[in-house]
Chains A and B, each alone.
Chain A
Amino acid sequence: MRMIRKVTILSMCVALLAALPAAAAETIKVGAILAVTGPAAFLGAPEAKTLEMLVAQVNAAGGIKGMKVELLIKDSSANPEKAVSLAKQLVEEEKVFAILGPSTSGESMKIKQYVDESATLLLSCAAAEAITTPIMKWVFKTPQNDANAVRWIYGDLKKKGLKKIGVLASNTGFGNAGKGQLEKLAPEFGIEVVIAESYDKDAVDLDAEVTKLKSKDVQAVVNWSIEPAQSKVPVSMRKMGWLVPLYQSHGFGNIKYVEAAGPAAEGILFPAGRLLVAEGLPDSNVQKSLLLKYKKDYEAATKEAPSTFGGHAYDAFTLLVKAIEIGGPDKEKARAALEGLKGFVGTAGIFNFSAEDHNGLGMDAFELLTVKGGKFALAP
């Protein structure tokens, strides 16, 4: 009896010793630089929650090809200096396999050169096109391009025969980039931007700005922002009885913003990924099951509604998993696998990467959505 116990303990010890180094070798370390606090917390917080949820799921299912994922989330508070420091730390000390994030364009621009030179995969969750133009070998991004969102809006305006528009944009990276694209692409569609103004994300309310636009007699308004303050634009417009069509950006993709605007949100048109209207998609849609699953999991894990922002982190992580599944735990091979990935179904759309395209999303990543009865719906 005693003998058996001794043998058991001994064998357990041996097994443990054998297992320890093996387990260490079969771990994939992934870093994430997210603005969990600070002025972009509304992006970073859902991204962090999404990643934590996904990693738990993957590890519970046995990891990627048997390798457990170790996730290191670093909070940058949207501060580029800190993002640089954290990127160096993740690459050189932690020797991470890849970095997910940062949440904002400014931070992504500051670290992409460094990450590229140190041959580590970067899957940015920020939207600016400059992140992947010009192409850097190791730098990818998951959110859709602003220019395509603008094309959707302008296409719809053209269809309706509306030519004179007013633009309101928030004074953050997202707002400025959108404003630039709106002004740049307008001539292509025969549209005239009569007035373009910026507002602060901390503005008490936007009556004055909206009144200024109203005085210019524009036929439609485009409101480009990703912050909660954007809901104040529809409120001001509808309160004043100004009923011209209102277009918003894909940064409107958060049901909280609809709730804040109340009935004023009805009829807003905006291009966005299909996550927000997953239930309303036809069953034939390839994204539908994935979107519903993410929605259900996220709601169960966090007790809050998912936003497209968290979706960008979802895509970044699942893309990385796919790349490792194909290329194995080798950085160069995984990168090549990612670059060669076609038809990958994500929350933002179908990704088709190539050596010339490190965003992989086209016009079809968007649908034109509207708000109907306080909910997102496909635009008629």
Chain B
Amino acid sequence: MSSDIFLQFCVAGLTYGIIYGVVAIGFTIIYNTTGIINFAQGEFLMIGGMTAVTLHRHLPLPLAILGAVAVTMLVGAAIEVLFIRWLKRPSVLRLIIITIGVSIVIRELALHLWDEKSHALPHFTGDSVSALTVAGAKISPQVLWVIGVCGAMVLLLGAFFRATPLGRQMRACASNRDAARLCGINTRNMVTLSFVLSAGMGALAGCVVSPITYVQYDSGTALAIKGFTAAILGGLGSTAGAAAGGLILGLLESFGVWMLPAAYKDAVAIAVMLGVLFLRPSGIFGSAEAARLREY
């Protein structure tokens, strides 16, 4: 195999990986402040993408994306306030089922609110065939947009958690909720905030990836499963781990296509998920000790 074909597989894997990584980070934010795995995470991307497509009919692209992010943040807040906030010490099983229920309801409402068709935002730069050549491999400029926007998002998020009082409160809430409450932090508001942040991130990601992946009412579920796999692969709870997990999963899928019949591409992802769950639930970067403490 020539080197440019090899590189092309790498580029393909990175493209998938970045997209999975972004979804994985969304899982991580909510998991860290609440201990909930939000199965409706993929739906945030879908709502973001679909809303942006709708708004783009009347507004310029940047405004449409901003609007979509704002709408999705509201949806995120509404989900938390309506379905999570007032529950008294809910069990894990109950929370899982609630977020699954939320994801189904959102998906079906989206089908009736929009339609069954697949949509996409235009490419931010150039069009579907524009490509940059890097060492013989072709990269769509949209992939660079995804890397840029998502990278900036992760950095800003890191700065937010580290440098702002609000961010520090959220982190306190993540490491020990009871202690945080004793220090006078309104932990319930922190939980709402984490849903809002995660929804906003998801929506923005949904907008930047939509020219590549397209978006339709049921595209959230598949992304959520990949994103969750990436999140536990990197060790649930770590943002850097989630990003790395996404990239590894993407590369595994891409080279899986090369080595195996392409029909097994999804089986690779699921096998990775089951492998991690059964063999090393703490993920490849996470510490097994910490994982044991976190478990319910």
Contacts and interface: CB of A to CB of B under 8 A. Distances in A.
Interface in A293-329: none
Contacts, number: 111
B129 A208 contact: no
A199 to B, nearest CB: 6
Contact of A260 (B9, B138, B214): B214
A198 B261 contact: yes
A236 to B, nearest CB: 8
Interface in A271-291: none
Contacts of B271: none
Contact of A228 (B118, B209, B265): B118
Contacts of A207: 8, 11-12, 15, 254
Interface string B56-90: 00000000000000000000000000000000000
Interface string B203-243: 00000010011101011001100100000000000000000
Interface string B93-131: 000000000000000100100011110100100011111
Contacts of A83: none
A41 B116 contact: yes
Interface stretch (A109-117, A146-154, A211-219, A332-340): A211-219
Interface in A188-242: 197-200, 202-205, 207-209, 211-212, 214-215, 228-229, 231-232, 235, 238-241
Contacts of B12: 205, 207-208, 211
Contacts of B140: 239
B143 to A, nearest CB: 9
A171 B223 CA distance: 18
Given A205-B12, A205-B16, A262 B128 contact: yes
A212 B138 contact: no
Given A37-B116, A39-B218, A197 B261 contact: yes
A211 B5 contact: yes
Contacts of A235: 128-129
B19 interface: yes
A212 B12 CA distance: 11
A264 B262 CA distance: 23
Interface size class of B (residues with CB under 8 A): 35 or more
Nearest to A227: B118
Nearest to B133: A241
Contact of B129 (A199, A200, A238): A238
Contacts of B123: 262
A165 B218 CA distance: 33
A203 to B, nearest CB: 7
Contacts of B130: 239
B266 interface: yes
Interface residues of A, number: 36
A42 B13 contact: no
Contacts of B120: 260
Contact of B138 (A41, A209, A241): A241
Contacts of A37: 108, 111, 116
B18 to A, nearest CB: 10
Contacts of B293: none
Nearest to B138: A240
Given A42-B117, A208-B257, A241 B131 contact: yes
A309 to B, nearest CB: 11
A200 B265 contact: yes
A212 B263 contact: no
A106 interface: no
A261 B127 CA distance: 9
Given A205-B212, A208-B258, A260 B118 contact: yes
B253 interface: yes
B115 A199 contact: no
A238 B127 CA distance: 11
A256 B118 contact: yes
Contacts of B261: 197-198
A39 B120 CA distance: 18
B129 to A, nearest CB: 4
B213 A205 contact: yes
B131 A256 contact: no
Contacts of A45: 115-116
A205 B258 contact: no
Contacts of B226: 204
B135 interface: no
A260 B117 CA distance: 11
A238 B209 CA distance: 19
Contact of A238 (B118, B128, B218): B128
A199 B214 contact: no
B129 A211 contact: no
Given A37-B116, A208-B257, A171 B263 contact: yes
B129 A262 contact: yes
B1 interface: yes
A242 to B, nearest CB: 9
Contacts of B19: 204
B138 to A, nearest CB: 5
Interface in A22-73: 37, 39, 41-42, 45
Interface string A166-201: 000001000000000000000000000000011110
Contacts of A199: 262-263, 265
A33 B55 CA distance: 34
5 contacts: A202-B219, A205-B16, A208-B255, A239-B129, A239-B138
Interface of A: 37, 39, 41-42, 45, 171, 197-200, 202-205, 207-209, 211-212, 214-215, 228-229, 231-232, 235, 238-241, 256, 260-264
The 4 closest A-B pairs by CB, nearest first: A228-B118, A207-B12, A41-B116, A262-B128
Given A205-B16, A238-B128, 13 more contacts: A197-B262, A199-B265, A204-B209, A204-B213, A205-B213, A207-B8, A208-B265, A211-B5, A211-B12, A215-B1, A238-B129, A239-B131, A239-B140
